[in-house]
Amino acid sequence: MTMKPPEIAWSRAHNFVLGLNSLQQGDSNEQPVYQGCKAIHNINTELETVIIDNHAFPLTRNETDYDNSYVCSPYTAYIRYARDELGLLKSRKLRWLMRGVIVMAAGLLRLGKINQTVSVNNWLFSTNPLPKWQDKTVKALTQKLIQSNPQHSLSIRSLNCETDGALMQHLAANGWIMLPARQVYLFLPDEKGENPPWWKRNNVQNDQRLLRKTPLKRVEPNQHQAQDFVEIERCFNQLFIEKHSAFNPQFSAEYFKFLHQQKLVEFYSYRDETGRIVASLGMFTQHGVLTAPIVGYDTHLPKSLGLYRLLMATLLELTRERNLPLNLSSGAGHFKRQRGGQAVIEYTALYVRHLPWNQRWIQNGFAKLLNRFAADFLQKHEL
């Protein structure tokens, strides 16, 4: 008797890869995504699917690409984006010191080919929730990826001890090293299904009152029209690109529309009296964890409208209703802590044991330095 092979759960990952490559390339084959195309303007990577435990996951592959967004460039994450963030440090002396450290690290990381990596489960968002892979799966995926990518390091972003503690242990047991990346904020559900403690915070309830009283019209996910995504792109760019960093992924209106049509992201927006969208939130839910990789608002409007508070109130309301953990990413630390966000260090896992000795030496050394100093630094300065 011939046994039927297990069915592969292509699910959203395969549609994501095929759809994004089609947007970038004008076809539906799994081909490299080239920089400057219309879907994501500042990403240059090869994008494909990899099958792990009969489930498909997106995988990115890079060589150098030092101008890439940080979502597929470790060099940008630890060097170029970090340089952009120096302005958040209050001490001028510390800023100068860190600038010197970054300059020295930049040369070493280029020499160590830090960007020559394949990243598993990379949805090209700031936060990519992970499955609960067991030790057997970690062993298998490590060997599989080494065989198909013998000259690349292996990387997995978006790990933290609170939601991924067991997975981090399995990775470490199989030779992966952990690199502290940033500080993120979690809003965890109540174990009994009741209102979580953070919901009772004064700031949270004040935001909910703002949500009830706002004159703006809320737009549910199924109420968005094609032309709305041009305005959503404008809102996103004003907040994430112009106000923060050009190394954030520069998503296009066409890409937002694709995410909406594929039901990969749920968009909640707000219109003013003219019908124009002035604030928007995009929710990505994966493996039972909520994230909000897309947040934007018209930064030229009066602060009295409380547009950011409005979006966060919407997100926390939905988080409470769904009783799921929310990973609210990094940034705006004071705001998030006031509302009960739990600060945790996020890590990137890296596997380099199969690489030449000089690359191993540099990347292992960099990881040791980060683990010795970076976590405390990120916590102290709320980065």
Q: What is the pLDDT along the chain (383 residues), one digit of tens a residue?
A: 334 444 444 568 888 888 888 886 654 444 444 344 568 999 999 999 999 998 999 999 999 989 899 999 999 999 998 888 777 778 888 888 888 888 889 999 999 999 999 999 999 999 999 999 999 999 999 999 999 999 999 999 999 999 999 999 999 999 999 999 999 999 999 988 889 999 999 999 999 999 999 999 999 999 999 999 999 999 999 999 999 899 999 999 999 999 999 999 999 999 999 999 999 999 999 999 999 999 999 999 999 999 999 999 999 999 999 999 999 999 999 999 999 999 999 999 999 999 999 999 999 999 999 999 888 878 876 76
What pTM value is reported for the model?
0.91
Residue 2 has a pLDDT of 39
Per the CB < 8 A criterion, the answer to whether 307 and 301 are in contact is: yes
Three-class SS of residue 27?
coil
Q: Which CATH superfamily is domain 189-324 in?
A: Gcn5-related N-acetyltransferase (GNAT) (3.40.630.30)
Cβ burial, residue 92 (10 Å; 0-12/13-18/19+): exposed
| CA gap 33, 48 in Å, rounded | 10
If we measure between CA atoms, which residue out of 194, 203, 169, 231 comes closest to residue 313? 203
Tokens of 59: 């995988």
Half-sphere exposure of 28 (CA within 13 A, CB side): 2
If we measure between CA atoms, which residue out of 7, 13, 14, 20 comes closest to residue 131? 13
Tell the residue number behind the tokens 């937002």, with chain if given: 256
Residue 355 has a pLDDT of 98
Residue 92 has a pLDDT of 83
| CA gap 120, 318 in Å, rounded | 28
If we measure between CA atoms, which residue out of 74, 126, 85 comes closest to residue 245? 85
Three-class SS of residue 187?
strand
Three-class SS of residue 226?
coil
- The continuous run of DSSP H or E covering 47 comes out as strand 45-52
Domain map (residue ranges) of the chain: 11-182+348-381, 189-324
**DSSP secondary structure letter of residue 243:** I
- The continuous run of DSSP H or E covering 361 comes out as helix 357-369
Residue 381 has a pLDDT of 66
- Gyration radius (Cα) of the chain, Å: 21
| CA gap 328, 357 in Å, rounded | 38
Per the CB < 8 A criterion, the answer to whether 328 and 186 are in contact is: yes
- Cα 187 off chain centre by: 16
- Cα 1 off chain centre by: 46
If we measure between CA atoms, which residue out of 208, 174, 182, 159 comes closest to residue 315? 208
Per the CB < 8 A criterion, the answer to whether 339 and 207 are in contact is: yes
